[in-house]
Amino acid sequence: MLDFVYGLPFLVLELPRLKLKRPSWVTVPSPMTVFAFILLSYFLVTGGIIYDVIVEPPSVGSTTDEHGHSRPVAFMAYRVNGQYIMEGLASSFMFALGGIGFIVLDQTHSPSTPKLNRILLIIIGFACIIISAIACYAFMKIKLPGYLMS
């Protein structure tokens, strides 16, 4: 009975002679690939890309000094929730760099890496961490001149 119902459409339609296979390159991605994508999107979002698209600030600000020349201003000062495009991307690059520094340090524990590689990885890891922390503190100090001073 069910065979008859299934066969009804084929009284009118003709089956094409095709062999369709799911392409072999479509697979569930590995966890680390997904992590790389997430890190990239973290870089973009914390850089304020949505703020840039909606508010459309300039790439760098400008101010005129005493001689009348216009000088670029990197950081939009005195406002916590405002930024120029370049300062946003620079800061989020620092955030991502700090995270990568810690991840690199985590890779230095396996016993089978050669000594030179291990030393280089350790140096890179600590350098990333310390540079990004100091850079973010400096950026914030430029942005809010009263930062960490009561």
Crossing angle between the packed helical segments 115-143 and 85-106, to the nearest 10 degrees: 150
Angle between helix axes 85-106 and 31-46 (nearest 10 degrees) is 150
Cβ–Cβ < 8 Å for 91, 136? yes
Of residues 125-144, those binding other proteins (CB under 8 A): 126, 129-130, 132-133, 136-137, 139-140, 143-144
Residues 18-47 that bind other proteins (CB under 8 A): 28, 31-32, 34-35, 38-39, 41-42, 45-47
Interface with other proteins includes 114 (CB under 8 A)?
A: yes
Report the distance separating Cα 65 and Cα 114, nearest Å. 55
Q: Does 7 bind other proteins (CB under 8 A)?
A: no
Please state, in angstroms and rounded to a whole number, the distance separating the CA atoms of residues 16 and 81.
60
**Cα gap 51→84, rounded to integer Å:** 10
Count of residues that bind other proteins according to CB under 8 A: 62
Q: Both tokens of residue 63?
A: 């101010």
Compare residues 7 and 67 and give the one whose CB is closer to other proteins.
7
The reply on whether position 120 binds other proteins by CB under 8 A is no
Q: Contact positions toward other proteins, by CB under 8 A?
A: 6, 28, 31-32, 34-35, 38-39, 41-42, 45-51, 53-55, 79-83, 87-88, 91-92, 95-96, 98-100, 102-103, 105-106, 109, 111-115, 118-119, 122, 126, 129-130, 132-133, 136-137, 139-140, 143-144, 146-148, 150
